[in-house]
Structure 1
Amino acid sequence: MNKAYTIFVSFIVALGGFLFGFDAGIISGVMSFAGPEFDLNEIQSGWVVSSPSFAAMIAMLFSGRLSDRFGRKRLLIIVAFLYGISAVLSALATSYEILYIARMIGGLAFGAALVLAPIYIAEISTAENRGKLVTLQQLNIVFGFFAAFLSNYFFNKYNTPESDFFTDENVWRWMLGVELIPALLYFMFLFFVPKSPRWLYLKHRVTEAKQVLIKLHGIEKGHAEIASIEENADTNKDKSKLNIKDLLKPSLRFILIVGLIVGVLQQITGINAVYFYATSIFKQTGIGTDAAFSSGVLLSTISVVFTFVAIYLIDRMGRRPLLLIGTAGIAVSLLLCAYGFNQATYQLPKEKIAQFEFSDAEKLMPFADKVYDNDIDFKSDIKSALGTKIYGKNDGAILEAATQINAPLILIGILGFVACFAFSLGPVMWVLLSELFPLKYRGLAIGVIAFVNSLMSSIIQLIFPWELSHLGNALTFFIFGAIATIGFFILLKILPETKGKSLEAIEKELVKSSMDVSL
């Protein structure tokens, strides 16, 4: 009963990850319609996609410290409310500006949720199940992606010329508005979770903390957790206020560097570019718009499957092996994508141009049967002929007609990347961050690293459309693959193992030993 209750509470708290994944997955389909509707250029499209991550940076920087003051549970309830507001305002947006502002409100929510959930779950877990339970956040993220891609697939399927209900002008609003349903459920369920017992200890509410621990783990394990916390109580007696400079202490420097490297690597390899622009990336392979939407469902299914692999292995194999194997696989997969895109050619046959049903298709005739050996020159000529708005609405059909590429090879690379990420950098980063830092510094440290993580994510999302237009598919993926390769060798040298140790034991081991590490 106690174990089931702990899993139930952890899953509810991790639902913030579901909403993040849902928002990230939805936007990949939304931009196929909202971009042309508002006639957005590459940078504007990038900003609509990436603006939540910029807002998330602010939330991540402060949410940990605010939760130290007001409590993890109270802030999570506010987070759920903000998710709902964002969904409604996004669906009703009448301009580019309102759309990105509405999405930034959602960014504040998921920025805080991604920090608070692993902190809370780590603080209610035991050493034996902490890895699995913290990984529930990543599982919820990929469930969110799956739900979003499935939702987008059906909205796109029923958005036909014969439909009186869905049109290109309103279908993206339904895609965004449907997020209100999980946001309301998250808001209601959060009232049924207890306050974090370790936060209660931090606030000297010892009796209440002991009651929560016993309810979570039963009498025997509950008292063992109480003993572990109280044995380490002296470490957290210092009541002085914290600031970011405190993280630079010699005793914390090593674990801060480890956390920052893992946090940066998680995003700089391009995972959110792949998720947020999945539909666009699959269009680049020439498989067509409908197939691009259905491929997104396949991508999210792979994410779910391999996140379960992470849940199964993380407390058996450990954090370090999963990260190293996964990062190596990410590098290989991205370089495979780069190779596949580099071999592609582009040619629009006259008969294909004649079959296009959109206006101004005849403007493509001067480029008929011309062979391009790279996507940059091809897309540049097509956009110059049609304009960005018409091209944006019909890029799937145009690329499907023109692209000659080994599409299965690209698909294997993308799915391999997502699979390796799903059992390594995706879940393991949050597990490590929730474990590495002492209780006193945990909220501040995770907030700072999550801020950097979100900064990298937002930059990648913002420039990704520009990269595809100006650097091309092949060079873009090669850069990501090269970064992943470098990251693997760095992790091989510095990454510690935290499997099977209590938070207090990890603190004693890493904080003490880091004083002697020369970097």
Structure 2
Amino acid sequence: MISATFGGLLFGYDTGVINGALPFMSRTDQLNLTPVTEGLVTSMLLFGAAIGALLGGKLADRYGRRKMILNLSFLFLVSSLGTAFAPNVVTMVVFRFLLGLAVGGASSMVPAFLAEMAPHEKRGRMVTQNELMIVGGQLLAYVFNAILGVAMADTGHVWRYMLIICAVPALILFLSMLIVPESPRWLTSKGKKDEALRVLKRIRDEKRAEAEFIEIEAAAEKDSELEKASIKDFSAPWLRRILLIGIGVAVVNQITGVNSIMYYGTQILQKSGFGTKAALVANIANGLISVIAVIVGIWLVGKVNRRPMLMIGLAGTTTSLLLIAIFSMAFDGSAALPYIVLSLTVIFLAFMQGCVGPVTWLVIAEIFPQRLRGLGSGISVFFLWMANFIIGFAFPILLSSAGLANTFFVFVAMGLCGIGFVYKYMPETNGRTLEELEEFFRVQQESKTEEPMIGI
């Protein structure tokens, strides 16, 4: 199962590497990027990821989680080579879009695959390990960016070396997934029950495998009585409620402004007063704290309920952004400002990657019933990536026109909206198997329970 998380590593590296590559791409002797084309190059991956997430869920439901992750690894490889050798902005945008298809597909398929393979008591840890691989990939990108950017600062095409490194984990993902079994839940849903039981016996002890297979089989039989999964299925009130929660949690993850820091951290640090080389090196701190925070988050997610963990994380991220905005105004032009901004981005990422990120991906992976899991998670992640696309495109334009402080005041306002959504609508999913969660929501609707979501 660890093999599948290399999809998360690729997700992280491909989204993080642009952070250090942009300053070199923007040079007049390279791609000569403006704030608009800079936003386009960055955000086109995110637009592709939105499409990939939406299609990925449906394709994973039809052809299987494992097979589709294998196909994604090949797309990662081809697209990485395409971006590294892109001769102009148009070519770069095309291959960034294709790379985004792979990133988006991985973002919806890998957590669902892990959720279905893991025993319920380890589900939180397994799914959040994918989050660790994502931030680990981003940290690797920042480290390689700094090494290459400092050592080869006078070489204009150094950004090509930064981008081509991604081909290595893509190849590792492909080779490792060749020996990973298919999800037993997907196999059961396709009538391949003997194969599903064999897979369960490979990853569980025999007694537990047989008991879990009975539970999975019962859920699959109940689903088989229904028509093929489609968007129309979400017209049922209890399913529509789950879908809106999934979309809401996904969008809240993005309006924190996390990816403005992950994609444009170098530019933010430059704007606050660091030089290019210093900003590249300082940005490693953002990647390092992200990894540490996710490790803490993996531990916390097994100890703390999802909802309060998300609330605490959002409160921390919003406060950090508010302080960045205030200090950017108060210490504008000061030699201390870059270090203040760096410290606050580190604090922001500690809350984001330690609380908000792990809970987001875990809830999206576990909230939907089996028959609709691929489609539901795909739709939710589609909205996550669309929000990401809008923010990724608009951020450099906003930073250039409105300045550092006003840009972050916008994110503070959105963060407050996110806290309000979680407080009112976020369900608690901890301590239940995937099948129990499905039954709970179904029974709650049938009995017309008026219990508020915060009491779940």
Q: TM-score, normalised by structure 1?
A: 0.84
Spell out, residue by residue over 1:260-302, the C-alpha distance to the aligned partner (whole angstroms, 9 max, x if none).
1111011122111110111111111212222211121111000
Residue number in structure 1 paired with 2:283:
296
Structure 2: which amino acid aligns with 1:292? A
Write out per-residue CA displacement over residues 104-156 of structure 1, whole angstroms, 9 at most, x where no aligned residue: 11111011001000111111111100000001111000000110000001101
- 1:17 is matched with 8
Counterpart-to-counterpart distance in 1, 2:219 and 2:397: 51
Aligned-residue offset at 1:514: 4.2
What SS does structure 2 have at the residue aligned with 1:423?
helix
Helix, strand or coil at the partner of 2:178: helix
The residue that corresponds to 2:299 in the other structure is 312
Shift of 1:40: 1.8
Cα distance 1:118–1:514, how it changes in 2: closer, same or farther (>3 A)? Answer: farther
Largest Rg, 1 or 2:
1
Q: Tell me, which stretches of 5 or more residues in structure 1 are unaligned?
A: 1-8, 162-166, 347-402
Per the alignment, residue 214 of structure 1 pairs with 201
129, 138, 145: which is aligned to 1:145? Answer: 138
1:9-408 equivalences in 2 (<5 Å): 9=1, 11-36=2-27, 37-161=30-154, 167-168=155-156, 170-346=157-333, 404-408=335-339
Contact 1:21-1:140 within 8 A present in 2 as well:
yes
CA distance in 1, matches of 2:55, 2:254: 20
Letter in 1 for 2:158: V
| 1:507 aligned residue | 438
**Aligned partners of 2:231 and 2:301: how far apart in 1?**
30
| CA distance in structure 1 between the partners assigned to 2:257 and 2:91 by the alignment | 27
Q: Normalised by the size of structure 2, how large is the TM-score? A: 0.95
SS state at 1:317 partner: coil
Residue 471 in structure 1 maps to residue 423 in structure 2: no
Q: How far has the Cα of 1:256 moved from its partner? A: 1.6
Instruction: Measure, in 2, the Cα distance between the counterparts of 1:107 and 1:14.
Output: 17
8 Å CA contact retained: 1:262, 1:425: no
Structure 2: runs of 5 or more not aligned: none
Q: CA deviation at 1:343?
A: 1.6
Question: Which residue in 2 is equivalent to 1:491?
Answer: 422
**TM-superposed deviation, 1:409:** 2.5
List per-residue Cα deviations over 1:420-440 (Å, max 9, x = no partner): 111222121111111111111
Task: For 2:41, give the aligned amino acid.
Answer: V
* Paired letter, 1:57: A
Q: What is the one-letter code of the residue matched to 1:335? A: L
CA contact (8 A) 2:255 2:418 kept: no
How far residue 230 of structure 1 moved from its aligned partner, in angstroms, is: 2.6
**Equivalent-residue separation in structure 2 for 1:253 and 1:511 (angstroms):** 11
Distance 1:273 1:305, change over 3 A: same
Asked if 2 retains the 8 angstrom alpha-carbon contact of 1:264 and 1:452, the reply is: yes
Question: Which residue identity is paired with 1:446?
Answer: S
User: Considering only aligned residues, what root-mean-square deviation do their CA atoms show, in Å?
Assistant: 1.5
Q: 1:87 offset after TM fit, Å?
A: 1.1
Any idea what SS the aligned residue of 1:345 has?
A: coil
Task: Find the aligned partners of 2:232 and 2:111 in 1 and give their Cα distance.
Answer: 23
1:517, CA displacement in angstroms? Answer: 6.4
